[in-house]
Amino acid sequence: MAHQLSKQGAEFIKRFEGLRLTAYNDGTGVMTIGYGHTGDVKAGETITQAEADSYFCEDVKWAVDTVNNAVKVKLQQNQFDALVSFAYNVGEGAFKSSTLLKDLNAGDYKAVPDQLDRWIYAGEKTGILAAFVRWAHIGSGKEVSPVLKSRREKEGRLFETGSYS
């Protein structure tokens, strides 16, 4: 039986995505609006709350389908919602190829929070030390994102305990 994203799960994701009713550049050159909607967004475009909610409902469908199709073990609703949040954030390809999914499908539910904690990096470190780290292959050279760190902790808590806060 396929799961659906719960209302609490949708609100959980929306809190992380944030709501912007005016289009903005997401920092990578992608115009974004609403709760992380991209695609046909134009600079200066504005939308209503109802349009943002409609975009979100359409946009989250692929993440719901991805989790339903990729996860082969039984999930509780809170676990499903946490995984949809993660997939919505990292994308279908990253989710499907993740060690998190491999571990979970092997029945290792306890590995999920630790695996989520590995997805906290965004952007490259700069400077001579960062260049050396990359050259010497002694680290990723990526910056820890406080926003992603917080999101992964809360997704892990939701997966383990069912706490949507």
Report the catalytic residues.
Answer: 17, 26
Give CA–CA dist 165/163, Å, rounded: 6
Instruction: Answer yes or no: are the C-beta atoms of 35 and 18 closer than 8 Å.
Output: yes
Cβ within 8 Å of residue 37, ≥6 positions away: 52, 55, 56, 59
Give CA–CA dist 62/24, Å, rounded: 23
Query: What tokens were used for 72?
Result: 């082969």
Distances (CA, A) of 12 to 83, 86, 129, 160, 163: 12, 11, 37, 15, 10
Instruction: Answer yes or no: are the C-beta atoms of 14 and 52 closer than 8 Å.
Output: no
Instruction: Answer yes or no: are the C-beta atoms of 126 and 118 closer than 8 Å.
Output: no
